[in-house]
């Protein structure tokens, strides 16, 4: 590829599967070493573990670390793992869960789990990385690439959905957290942005909600200007852009990758 991320180290949560796996793979293709942080090693969609795929396909280093993002100590440990590769330069808070819900029947336990992974996991992932990035700020020359935090939101973080009340709440929180954090970390030279995918063909849309390959997918695709669901690689390309110096003046931004669905 083009070595857009040569010499950089990325930690990607939820990178065993789906969007996170595609991001980890693209980052490695662009020259970054990658820490794959997940609660499982095997991809939900099948195939070899992400770090093995990276080792066999690229010259980058990759390692897997068991990490439940709802536990800040696990996130600290995942970021610590990156020290062996020179320290985290790019933190992608991607891990997330999705649960169709009936608002009137939702339980506190279901609410807490979803918010713990989708919102708290992003907050403490960013914090663990930012602590290291700030501590290393003095070692950086002016023309070195800036550290980057990327948070995975969703089209549902822009347009609330009645079937996904808690999910929408968690993804809206990620959006505003991203704006606030870009302000909080701007002086430290850390860029913070969010990605908002629309429907993407991953285990989430094929297994958690059986959309892909169904009549519902066709019906929903007809309402999307691009006329189809997205692929994880299309989300990954957005994540490469935001991590690279091509986005050197982009911070506190929402990059929507949804085929025009929310426009």
* Residues recognised as catalytic: 167
DSSP assigned state of 218: H
CA distance 151 to 159: 17
Question: Is residue 79 within the footprint of ligand NAI (CB under 6 A)?
Answer: no
Q: For ligand NAI, which stretch binds (CB under 6 A), given 61-69, 132-140, 236-244, 247-255?
A: 61-69
SS3 for 254?
strand
Question: Is residue 239 within the footprint of ligand NAI (CB under 6 A)?
Answer: no
Which residue of 79, 95, 114, 240 would you call a contact of ligand NAI, by CB under 6 A?
95
Name the minimum Å distance from CB 247 to ligand NAI. Answer: 19
Question: Is residue 204 within the footprint of ligand NAI (CB under 6 A)?
Answer: yes
Number of H helices, E strands in the chain: 9, 7
Question: Which residues are CB-contacts of 61 (< 8 A; sequence separation ≥ 6)?
Answer: 33, 34, 55, 85
Bridge partners of 192, per DSSP, are 149
State the binding string over 20-59 for ligand NAI (x if CB under 6 A, else -): x-----------------xxx---x---------------
Which helix (H) or strand (E) element contains residue 191?
Answer: strand 191-197
CA distance 91 to 9: 9
Question: Which residues are CB-contacts of 66 (< 8 A; sequence separation ≥ 6)?
Answer: 38, 39, 41, 74
- Quick one: tokens of 216? 């519902």
**Of 172 and 197, which CB lies nearer to ligand NAI in the complex structure?**
197
Name the minimum Å distance from CB 140 to ligand NAI. Answer: 29
Question: Is residue 202 within the footprint of ligand NAI (CB under 6 A)?
Answer: yes
Bridge partners of 92, per DSSP, are 12, 150
**Of 135 and 163, which CB lies nearer to ligand NAI in the complex structure?**
163
Reported as half-sphere exposure (CB side, CA atoms, 13 A), residue 182 has a value of 17
Question: Is residue 259 within the footprint of ligand NAI (CB under 6 A)?
Answer: no
**Residues in 109-138 that interact with ligand NAI by CB under 6 A:** 117
Question: Is residue 177 within the footprint of ligand NAI (CB under 6 A)?
Answer: no
Which helix (H) or strand (E) element contains residue 22?
Answer: helix 18-29
Which residue of 76, 199, 224, 244 would you call a contact of ligand NAI, by CB under 6 A?
199
Which residue of 197, 234, 239, 256 would you call a contact of ligand NAI, by CB under 6 A?
197
Nearest 5°: CA angle at 246, between 240 and 251?
A: 85
Question: Is residue 151 within the footprint of ligand NAI (CB under 6 A)?
Answer: no
Which residue of 58, 154, 244, 251 would you call a contact of ligand NAI, by CB under 6 A?
154
Answer yes or no: are the C-beta atoms of 3 and 32 closer than 8 Å.
no
CA distance 260 to 242: 19
Which residue of 87, 96, 125, 259 would you call a contact of ligand NAI, by CB under 6 A?
96
Name the minimum Å distance from CB 215 to ligand NAI. Answer: 18
Residue ranges in contact with ligand NAI by CB under 6 A: 13-14, 16-20, 38-40, 44, 67-70, 94-98, 117, 152, 154, 197, 199-200, 202-205
């Amino acid at each position: 590829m083009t070595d857009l991320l040569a010499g950089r180290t990325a930690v990607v949560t939820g990178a065993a599967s789906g969007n996170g796996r595609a991001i980890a793979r693209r980052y490695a293709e662009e020259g970054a070493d990658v820490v794959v942080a997940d609660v499982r090693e095997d991809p939900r969609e099948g195939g070899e573990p992400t770090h093995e795929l990276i080792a066999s396909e690229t010259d980058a280093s990759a390692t897997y670390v068991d990490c439940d993002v709802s536990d800040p100590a696990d996130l600290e440990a995942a970021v610590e793992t990156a020290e062996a590769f020179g320290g985290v330069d790019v933190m992608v808070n991607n891990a997330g869960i999705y649960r169709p819900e009936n608002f009137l029947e939702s339980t506190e336990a279901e609410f807490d789990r979803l918010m713990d992974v989708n919102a708290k996991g992003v907050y403490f992932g960013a914090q663990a990385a930012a602590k290291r990035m700030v501590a290393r700020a003095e070692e950086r020359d002016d023309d070195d690439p800036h550290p980057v935090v990327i948070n995975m939101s969703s089209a549902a973080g822009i347009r609330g959905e009645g079937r996904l009340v808690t999910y929408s709440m968690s993804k809206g929180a990620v959006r505003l957290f991203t704006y606030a954090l870009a302000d909080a970390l701007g002086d430290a030279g850390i860029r913070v942005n969010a990605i908002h995918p629309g429907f993407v063909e991953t285990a989430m849309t094929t297994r958690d909600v059986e959309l892909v390959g169904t009549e519902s997918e066709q019906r929903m695709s007809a309402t999307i200007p691009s006329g189809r669901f997205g692929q994880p690689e299309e989300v990954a390309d957005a994540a490469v852009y935001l991590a690279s110096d091509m986005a050197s003046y982009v911070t506190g931004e929402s990059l929507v990758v949804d085929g025009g669905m929310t426009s």
